[in-house]
Amino acid sequence: MKFLVVDDEKDVEMLFRQKFRKEIRKGEIELIFAFSGEEALSVLNSSNPPDVVYVFSDINMPGMTGIELLEKIKSEYPEINVSMISAYGDNENYNKAIESGAKEFFTKPIDFESLRSEIYNMLNQETE
């Protein structure tokens, strides 16, 4: 199962790989990383239909914001789940993300146990 993580901070890749090393090693998940909204769309457009089932995107990025990316993904690929990540847990970002179709909203520092349980819910739905 492929997950796309979108964040302009490159150290996020190492953090996600470390936190999910067991799942990656077992072959349960594959993590792909994009460092901008534009790069994320090009990853999604590289296969038809996209083989990514879940996108985790930062909200505050230069260029295309996470909310703009969310709206594009939901209009082009409504079947892909998208969760937003923000350093700011303010109501405005939360409401905009949920109204735009986000499945979940995580604040930084990311609660990886909560994120892991979201991923396992997805894995369990796939096997049912």
pTM: 0.93
103: amino acid identity, one letter: K
Helix (H) or strand (E) holding 11: helix 11-19
Q: Which mean pLDDT values do the consecutive 10-residue runs of the chain (128 residues) have?
A: 95 95 95 97 92 95 96 96 89 93 92 89 73
Q: How many CA atoms lie within 13 A of 104 on its CB side?
A: 18
Are 65 and 102 within 8 A, CB to CB?
Answer: no
Structural domains of the chain ordered from first start: 2-127 (3.40.50.2300)
Report the pLDDT value the prediction gives residue 88, as an integer from 0 to 100.
82
Report the pLDDT value the prediction gives residue 121, as an integer from 0 to 100.
84
Residues 6+ apart with CB under 8 A from 12: 5, 33, 58
Other Cβ atoms less than 10 A from the Cβ of 73: the count is: 26
Report the C-alpha gap between 28 and 17 in whole angstroms.
13
